[in-house]
Every structure is written in structure tokens, then in C-alpha cells.
Amino acid sequence: MDQQGYVMSGLSLLLVLPAIMLFMVFLDMTSNGVDGNSQVLESGRVLNTVKDLEVDIEVAGKEVFQSEAENVVKSGIPLTNSRQQVKKDMQTKMNQITSHYQDNDKLDVECNITSVDNSEDPFAVEVNSSIKVGKDEITHQEFITQEISIIDPQYPIPNPLPFIKCKNYGGAQVISNKIAFGSSLTNYLESRGVKNAGAYENSTTAYIIKKCPYDPYKMHGEHEYNTIKNCISNGYFHESSDGSCFLCRLEGKGVCPHYGFETYITPASSINTTYNNSNLSTNFTFNQAPSSIDHVIFNDTIPGTGTYQGNKLIYFSDASNCLIIFLDNAHRQKYGFPIV
């Protein structure tokens, strides 16, 4: 090969080398781009799983609240430590859910229910938990606090307290979505020496926990008492600093130190035609009886003073029936009725 040929070969190599280098750089950028896109996809998958687990915790909580309350209703046996029991049940459910993610999505998933306690909202329970999700080199961890409702219509939760209190006195039963006491509430009150317990023969109270929409509560005493009639008919509950919270109701406590709720316990309706003659129906023989608020009725923590008397209030009457409750002055003031 002559000198000219060597020169041409050298020039060709110089021209080809940059092209080769550019091609190698392009391959490296493409590889990095694929890896970057893969990381973005995995990161999104991890974050979405964390969000899904937050929803799973909320659903698990509502299912546990409902099942524990229903179990107490059936057995009449209170929980020893409702907070620990609910925490344990929720952890069991979340372990099953995280196993599903690990087996089917090949993710490293941890979810620990760290505590269950009262919320500032008495119609919710505070649940604290930690979530950790990982995939290959990507890991995300969160510590979350959730206020889980106990009044979601999709997960109706019964009021367990009356079934615990009346278990040994004849028991309570559910009739037309209300708790019917028969003679059990009278027997329970009489066993404690409470005066005028007979006013609660065949009384009823709310079964499913539902928050009263009539707020402020003084509205109950307005509109010719139609509001309180509708409230009682619908079985609503009201916020109360004296009423037992949901978790303590599971433990059979009629009162507790937490911010809770209360509902009415209503005496049986009376035949109106007997009201103005000597053949008085049982409830109308009492001008006073235990105040018709559940935490007053079930306050057996202070012998002789926990359950106090209220004055009769006729909140509805027609040609057939008279409906009454008994209210002390503090609750009359709360619900907008005249003080007596």
C-alpha cells in the first residue's frame, strides 16, 4: 500500500471513531433512560400501594368495630380491654392484606397497628399505624393517624351497652331496629334500689349508632316537639361529656372519662284515653322517674346517686297515644325544654 493509501485509511478511522463514540454514548443514555423510567414506575407503584393500605386500614377498622359490637350484643359479655382487642383484630386483618401484596405483587410490605384510642370526635376512633413498602432499591415509609368513623351507613354499628347491663336481668332484644327491654331494665334498676324503676317497663332505645343531625341540640324543644319525636323515632345519638364513649361501651361502662355520646331511653307509649281517668296506664302514674338518658340510667358506678330522677315530659300525643320521657333540668336545658 502506498503512502496515499495509508493517509486515506487514517482519515477514515478518524471519521469513524467519533461516530462510534457517539453511538456508545447514545447506548449508555438509552440504558440510563430505561433504568430511570423503571425506577419511576416502581416508585409510583410503591406510593400507590401505601395509599391503598391507608384505605385498607380504614375498612379493616370499620369491620372490626362492627364485629366486636355485634359479638357483645349476642353474648352480653363485655370486652376486658377494647382498645387492645380492636388493635389485635385490626392487625390480624392487615397481616392478611399485606401477605396478599407480597404474594401477588412481589412487594415488601409491612403494616403495624401501633395504637387504638379515643378521637376528639366521639363518633370516630383514632387509629395510629406505620406502613412500609419496598420494591428493589425503592422503599417508602409513613406513620399515619386516622380518625375512623363509627357511623358509616355501610358498616352499621350497634350500641352494645344495654345488652351488657341487662344480660342478667332478663336480657334485651332487637325489635324493629330498636332495643326492646321488656322487664329487664326495670329489673336492673330495681336491683340497684333506684326509685320509680317501673316507669321503664317495656321501654326501648336506639340500636344502631347514628349521629343526630339536629344541631344545636336546643332544637329538640322547638317546632311543637316534632324534632325530638323525629330524633327518638330515628334512634339518634348526641355528643356528651358525661356519656360513655364507644370503646368504653364495649367494656360495659355506663360512664367514662372520655368525651362520648348519649341517647334517649323511652318509656312505652301510653293509651291516651286512660290519661284523664282513674285507669291510668303504668307510665303516667309517675311524675318523676330516672332521667331518660342512657348514661344516667346505666350509671352504676356511684351507688344511690349515679341514676337521678327527671320530671315527666309529654313530647307527643294524639287520639291514640301519649309519648313521654323523663328529663332532669340539666338535660332539659341542653335539649331546649322548659326547666321545672
User: Can you give the pLDDT of all 340 residues of the chain as single tens digits?
Assistant: 555 554 455 555 555 556 555 555 444 544 444 444 445 446 778 889 999 999 999 999 999 999 999 999 999 999 999 999 999 999 999 999 999 988 887 889 999 999 999 999 999 999 999 999 998 888 999 999 999 999 999 999 999 999 999 999 999 999 999 999 999 999 999 999 999 999 999 999 999 999 999 999 999 999 999 999 999 999 999 999 999 999 999 999 999 999 999 999 999 987 644 444 434 445 667 899 999 999 999 999 877 678 999 999 999 998 788 999 999 999 999 999 999 9
Query: What's the pLDDT score for residue 267?
Result: 96
> Cα dist. 314→101, 107, 326, 337 in Å?
58, 63, 9, 11
Taking the C-alpha atoms of residue 89 and residue 340, their distance in angstroms, rounded to an integer, is 48
Distances (CA, A) of 225 to 210, 219, 313, 332: 20, 9, 10, 12
For the chain, give me the number of helices (H) and strands (E)? 8, 13
With cell 341542653, the residue in question is 334
The helix or strand, by DSSP H or E, that contains position 87, with its residue range, turns out to be helix 82-105
Spatial distance between the Cα atoms of 231 and 128, rounded to a whole number of angstroms: 34
96-131 pLDDT, tens per residue?
A: 999 998 888 788 999 999 999 999 999 999 999 999
This prediction has a pTM of 0.85
- CA-to-CA dists, residue 192 to 165, 173, 178, 251, 262, angstroms: 12, 22, 25, 20, 21
Rg of the chain's alpha carbons, rounded to an integer?
33
Choose among 209, 210, 204, 208: nearest CA to 173. Answer: 204
Residue 215 is given by DSSP the state -
- What the block records as the C-alpha cell of 141 is 415509609
**CA dihedral for 330, 123, 294, 308, sign (positive or negative):** negative
Compute the distance between CA of residue 243 and CA of residue 161 in angstroms, rounded to an integer: 11
Tell me which H or E stretch contains 147: strand 138-149
CA–CA separation, 91 and 102 (whole Å):
16
| 199-208 pLDDT tens trace | 999 999 999 9
Measuring CA to CA, how many Å separate 35 from each of 44, 58, 226? 14, 35, 68
Residue 211 is given by DSSP the state B
